[in-house]
Structure 1
Amino acid sequence: MDREKVLAVINGKEVTGEDYNLFMESLNPQLRAYFSQDEINKEVVNELVYQGLLYQEAIEKGIDEDEDFQKVLNKTKETMLKTYALGKLLSTVSVTEDEVKEFFEEHKEELKQGESARASHILVEEEDKAKEIYEKIKNGEDFEALAREFSTCPSSEKGGDLGTFTKGQMVKEFEDAVFNNEEGHITEPVKTQFGYHIIKVVEKNDAKDAEFDEVKDKLEAQVRRLKEQDLYNNKINELKEKYTVDMKI
């Protein structure tokens, strides 16, 4: 909303679009989404008016001069100033593409994408049932059709297709059965904590180097965080030399 827009006037004090925007930003995402259905929500404006009325009475009664309020005000001001000063310091950090590329080259091995595979499976609870289904497959019955009919896994709706995954994403017994066999192989029943799986290895891919464009945005954020941390640490060390710190613990 236009921050200059006047929504109400309470005893000469304006309630503006800026007040409205600040109030909306303070809400949790669910409430914000609810109130954002209208360009200007009357309930929000009413709440701002109610708060404005409380403010007017507080001023009239001189509550803003209370000692306790002044303590809270000063502590709040101190906290806000710390946050603002930190934000102002970190806003000076910039990251160039050359810096991101240099970081990419230095960490290529860490960014290397591991072996991956694509597999389908049929999951059942009983070993005898798994063996029975396996025999059906050996006799030429369609794997995907049997998965839809018998598998207890939600993937049954897609003929047992689990999509592509990398090492470390599946339980060990399942993973070993996939990565130790060739594409097209259908395993005998494999027992895991979930039951008995008949696994079809659909596709296997070797580990490969990450492409710069694929990881650029993630690396840029990482480089920025590192530069911000360095700047922060350097500033703190500088200030330690400038001001006295007397630790009590």
Structure 2
Amino acid sequence: MPVIVNGYELSDAEMEKELPEHQGTADPMKSAMTALVLRRILLDKANELGLSGEDEDKIEALLVREVVVPKPSSEECLRHYQAHPQRFTVGELVEANHILFQVTPALDLDNLRRHAEVVLQDLLDNPANFAAMAKVNSNCPSSEVGGNLGQLTRGDTVPEFEKVIFSAEEHKIVSRLVETRFGLHIVQLGRKLAGKLLPFEQVESKIADAMQRASHDHAMRQYLQLMVGQAKISGIELEGADTPLVQ
């Protein structure tokens, strides 16, 4: 079935040119066609407004004109800084050991969880056995060194693991299983160094830039959704408007 946007039929040649840009996506064909549809919609809008230049230049000029977000105020940046001090703290370290019970598609998750809970309870009663239990039970290469992950800083691990290790009490075993995309973890904390909070004045400009980028991304999604809603499209159903348009 041909894909038609505002009376314009997208060609096989356009798809052949666009497809290589989407090979890393879950569905390259759908992603490429979505990008072509969105680009066509914006090109039509740019032409309607009388913008000049090459097609990509017209689209970029359209987005600069239509998607405008204000720079956040100093007060807004300060509120963000105060709400997320951990993001602006340097030198923070934590020593951690873990036992990973890896989740795989063919695995019975309930049985794995029950086994992990038994191991956790045994370690809460006998913390000195952690290294030995890690060697026997952990699916992580760190099992060979007693589950030792060494010194970790923020950004070294996945967010769900990081949140636990930086909030848990040092020299203790976390009293619950920690779930991440990799599986179930039993976590033991070692030393923790608090680090130093950078002064607001030193990070204000970075906060402002990050907040403006986030606002721009949100405004862009809203604008694309509006344009899709106003266009006449057949041959494809767009599930979202997150495909990059200008390379």
With normalisation by structure 2, the TM-score equals 0.38
For the pair shown, the structure with the greater C-alpha radius of gyration is: 1
- Which of structures 1 and 2 has the larger relative contact order (alpha carbons within 8 angstroms, sep 6+)? 2
